[in-house]
Structure 1
Amino acid sequence: MSQIVRRLGVAPRLRGSATAATCPDLFELADGNFAVIGTDVTDSLDSQLPADAARADYERIVVITRETLIKAKPDIPDA
């Protein structure tokens, strides 16, 4: 299992999360992949995936806020 190298964007508290109740987050991993903390919406969106998309049994569909991704954009590598 890879290790977290850095957060992409700003900490949830700096985006207005005063509690641990809502803390979407993005992290870059040592192996170059990314980890996402988000709300699990697999049950509600799984049937809406386009025909050319698939999800393995061990994968989940998660949602992060628009603000979380926008704040992380400057930290996301181009390549």
Structure 2
Amino acid sequence: MDDKLIDLVNVVAIADAAPTLQTRQVSDEILSKVDGEIKTLDAIVNEDIAALNVALKSAGVELLGTGKA
């Protein structure tokens, strides 16, 4: 996914015209996949790390930071 996104950015950056329909479709597909990955990461942070922190706290171990106060 990373390679596709980089290739897409490079194509758009050097183009002398507006992006083609195919370029817009690829962009939409990649952005959809990125959104899915972000949702997966959010679930890990909000659920798995939160559960791990509860277990760590009950064991007397310092909590992992998630960037949230």
Question: What's the TM-score once normalised by structure 2's chain length?
Answer: 0.26
Higher strand share: 1
Higher helix share: 2
Question: What's the TM-score once normalised by structure 1's chain length?
Answer: 0.24
